């Protein structure tokens, strides 16, 4: 009996002191929900779309042990381009940050040190949803926990290069996939 109690105590201690698991890393947003239609605030203003083009509020918790910085990506895999469409790519978000305020990309309220890469509209920062009429597209917002303090990227880095560097340094990810159609 003592042996079973000791084993149970050791297992409990190991569980309590274990580092965060990937499934503990969570992303939430007041602006959107998993599988739900994006609101006009996150829709592009142009290309026939009449949204407000504001980056969404995002908050996360439970990052894996060893996280030294974060990156955020917003990607449409359904865009008719052969390579999808990058709506947002932010790197070098300090590990102390756990929230991005609504509209931060366009109001200059991104965390100090964060670098916004040019999106596929050709400008740095957030570019909202704007699928072709009649199509429903998915928009995958991902926070990446990185094992490095800073990604050394040129100012004009492509989304492919940023994606490669993010992928090479990711310890864990948390995602919300929203949809939009017009």
| CA dist., res. 154 & res. 131, Å (int) | 29
pTM above 0.85, yes or no: yes
Assign 22 a pLDDT band (cuts: 50, 70, 90). low
Question: Which pLDDT does position 23 carry in this prediction?
Answer: 66
All domains of the chain in start order, with CATH:
19-181 (3.90.280.10)
Which residue is listed with tokens 């990227």? 153
Mean pLDDT throughout 124-134?
97
Round to whole Å and give the CA distance between 132 and 83.
16
User: What's the pLDDT tens digit per position in 52-98?
Assistant: 999 999 999 999 999 999 999 999 999 999 999 999 999 999 999 99
- Which whole-number Å values give the CA distances from 169 to 61, 92, 147, in the listed order? 19, 12, 6
């Amino acid at each position: 009996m003592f042996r079973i109690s000791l084993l149970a105590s050791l297992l409990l201690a190991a569980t309590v002191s274990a580092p965060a698991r990937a499934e503990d890393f969570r992303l939430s947003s007041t602006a959107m929900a998993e599988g739900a239609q994006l609101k006009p605030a996150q829709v592009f203003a142009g290309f026939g779309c009449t949204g407000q083009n504001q980056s969404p509020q995002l908050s996360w918790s439970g990052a894996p042990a060893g996280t030294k910085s974060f990156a955020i990506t917003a990607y449409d895999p359904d865009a008719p381009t052969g390579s999808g469409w990058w709506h947002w790519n932010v790197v070098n978000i300090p590990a102390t940050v756990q929230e991005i305020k609504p509209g931060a990309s366009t109001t200059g309220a991104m965390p100090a040190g964060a670098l916004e890469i040019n999106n596929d509209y050709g400008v740095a920062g957030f570019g909202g949803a704007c699928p072709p009429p009649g199509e429903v597209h998915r928009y995958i917002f991902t926070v990446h926990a990185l094992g490095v303090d800073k990604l050394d990227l040129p100012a004009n880095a492509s989304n492919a290069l940023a994606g490669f560097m993010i992928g090479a340094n990711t310890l864990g990810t948390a995602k919300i996939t929203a949809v939009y159609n017009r």
